[in-house]
Amino acid sequence: MKKAVFLDRDGTINEDPGYLNQASQMKLLPGVAETLASLRRQGYLLIVVSNQSGVGRGLIRLEDIPKIHARLDELLAPVSAKIDHYELCFHRPEENCSCRKPLPELLLRAAEKLDIDLSQSYMVGDKATDLEAGRAAGCKAVFLVGTGDGLRTKKAISMELYDGFAMGLSEILALISQ
């Protein structure tokens, strides 16, 4: 079985402008490309698991999602990094779907599709819902980043919800490599 790092997208990998709906809005956070390249060299699959309710709300066109992810690939390519797989929820919160984080379905689907051992994998995000999804899926550890909503999240939740905190994704690398 393979191991993976599951990553929230907006606020963890890239700046979160609020309902990122155009490829031109995709801007990596500092150190992200190099960190993702390093994780790939260590043998981790990189899986984005993201709630994208902007699609369900009519704020993001479904046909723009592949363009946004192609732009992310372009930004990662110079350091030979890439996202291996995307699992996305397009539902609005009030739809009470089974795939929206904090439920673990996005991680479980990716694990099944790609033969991933969740007990050897990690979840990284900037919101409590990311951490809860990683815990519920059975990840080895869940990490909170201080980017995006991370600092606000850290103040609002119990430390028992996460295994480590770092100001940015590049500092998470040291926690995973321990």
Query: Does residue 8 carry a catalytic annotation?
Result: yes
Among residues 14, 3, 10, 74, the alpha carbon closest in space to that of 40 is found at 3
Closest-CA residue to 145 (of 113, 168, 122): 168
Q: What is the pLDDT of residue 42?
A: 95
Domain ranges of the chain: 3-176
The C-alpha atoms of residue 61 and residue 177 are separated, in whole angstroms, by 38
| Lookup result for tokens 């995307």 | 86
CA distance 133 to 87: 13
Each of the 178 residues of the chain gets a pLDDT tens digit; together they read 999 999 999 999 999 999 999 999 999 999 999 999 999 999 999 999 999 999 999 999 999 999 999 999 999 999 999 999 999 999 999 999 999 999 999 999 999 999 999 999 999 999 999 999 999 999 999 999 999 999 999 999 999 999 999 999 999 988 997 6
Dist. CA 155–CA 81, nearest whole Å: 32
Active site residue 10: yes
Return the CATH superfamily for domain 3-176: HAD superfamily/HAD-like (3.40.50.1000)
Q: What share of the chain is helix, strand, coil (3-state, %, to 5)?
A: 45, 20, 35
Q: What is the reported pLDDT for 54?
A: 96
Catalytic residue among 8, 126, 149, 163: 8
Q: Which pLDDT score, from 0 to 100, does residue 177 have? A: 75
Rounded to two decimals, the pTM is 0.97
- Distance separating alpha carbons of residues 88 and 151, to the nearest angstrom: 24
Position 178 scores a pLDDT of 64
